[in-house]
Amino acid sequence: KKEVSRWVSVREFVGKHQGLQLGNGGVGRNNSSLAKEFNSEFDKGQTLGNSIDRVRLNGYNTECVFNQNIRQDIKNHYKQQCCAMCGAHGNSENTQIEVDHKDGCKDDSRVSDSNTQTFDDFQALCKACNDKKRQICKECKESGYRFDATKILGNHYSFYEGEAEYDGCVGCYQYDPIQYRKTCNDRIYNEGYQKGYYEGYQIGYHQKTTL
């Protein structure tokens, strides 16, 4: 029989239970010590807003939970960087730098382990861009199609690797905006070079045949 606890107000998470506190809207709650051991249910209906008001436990969690912890040296490195997407690095809430897991699927056990994760698994994003990325990742998974990066003014390609059908985050603009720009710049250069070579050949051929 599955055991269900009473509803516990988040105001009770004080003192020795302070480590169980949850972020606004439950951000990061799947990485909490509660979620690792138990199936957790959340109630947001007691107060206005999106904050979690109460929590109860509903049986043991038998699924593997992705550990979102990031090694300190990786955090220190990216906290000094500007946002890879928009270039921001400020002190206001939306321009503060967050260290982002590039792969929004968060299903790679290697990245979950702080001993095996690498610098390339992460990037610096400001809070505003990171929030937007989370929403886009959610829409990609639900629709089955990648985000079309040409919706952003100045972008010439929908993605830099893979197909339009969503099969993971690698290749999406949000996965690595810096790599997107590098790959697309190379592609634009190569396409321009080939176009110029072809047009030059045609002009030369025309001049030769009309002399």
Q: How many domains does the chain have?
A: 2
- Give me the pLDDT at residue 28, please: 42
- Give me the pLDDT at residue 130, please: 94
Radius of gyration of the chain (CA): 24
Name the stretches of the chain with pLDDT < 70.
1-2, 16-37, 61-66, 193-211
- Give me the pLDDT at residue 208, please: 46
CA 46, CA 74: separation in Å to the nearest integer?
38
- Give me the pLDDT at residue 148, please: 96
CA 96, CA 3: separation in Å to the nearest integer?
42
- Same domain? For 133 and 153 the reply is yes
- Give me the pLDDT at residue 198, please: 58
- Give me the pLDDT at residue 119, please: 97
- Give me the pLDDT at residue 11, please: 83
Residue 206 main-chain phi, psi, to 5 deg: -65, -45
Fill in the amino acid letter for 120.
D
Q: pTM score, two decimals?
A: 0.63
- Same domain? For 85 and 21 the reply is no
Domain extent, residue 36, equals 8-60
Range 48-63 burial, b when 16+ CB lie within 10 A, else e: eeeebebbebeeebee
- Same domain? For 87 and 121 the reply is yes
- Same domain? For 92 and 29 the reply is no
Q: Does a structural domain hold residue 110?
A: yes
Closest CA to 33 of 3, 56, 65: 65
- Same domain? For 80 and 168 the reply is yes
- Give me the pLDDT at residue 24, please: 44
In which element (H, E) is residue 192 found? Answer: helix 177-210
Q: Does a structural domain hold residue 47?
A: yes
Q: Does a structural domain hold residue 168?
A: yes
- Same domain? For 145 and 101 the reply is yes
